[in-house]
Amino acid sequence: MPKITHPVDLAWTSDVEASIEAFGNRGRNEIIRFLEQHGPVPRGDIVDAVSAGEASVAQHLLALEKTGVIIVDIVQGRRHGRSPRYSVDDDRITVLLEAHQDYLRNRRQLLSPDAGEHLR
């Protein structure tokens, strides 16, 4: 099986990667939209409102939390016995959307100095 490689592109930042992770999935977008209007809410409210099951919502929330798009009012690892409430971080959403838009509109193939050596 061929190995998938990624070109060296310095314009592909961690914020662009986080943008793809957060916004590149319809279920995650649905959760963000729900939280934008109704947050902060517990996970059960999200499950009841979106078109995904509890396990799927839990995975989406973890991914969104990892990217910083959502805020959880209880620190991960200290949630036992408490129901965390989720809300969106509007500033982080703006940062990620701007990073992605900048990448798409101003894309230059920025190669590291070593990357071009194999082309000689």
Tell me the per-residue pLDDT of 44-61, one tens digit each, with 9 for 90 and over.
999 999 988 999 999 999
| pLDDT on residue 76 | 59
What percentage of the chain exceeds 90 in pLDDT?
A: 61
Q: Which of 25, 21, 83 has the alpha carbon at shortest distance from 50?
A: 25
pTM of the model: 0.76
| pLDDT on residue 17 | 92
**Mean pLDDT over residues 11-38, rounded?**
94
**Mean pLDDT over residues 9-36, rounded?**
92
Residue 115 has pLDDT above 70, yes or no: no
Three-class SS of 59-109: HHHHHHHHHCCEEECCCCCCCCCCCCEEEECHHHHHHHHHHHHHHHHCCCC
Residue 3 has pLDDT above 70, yes or no: no
Q: Which residue has the higher pLDDT, 67 or 2?
A: 67
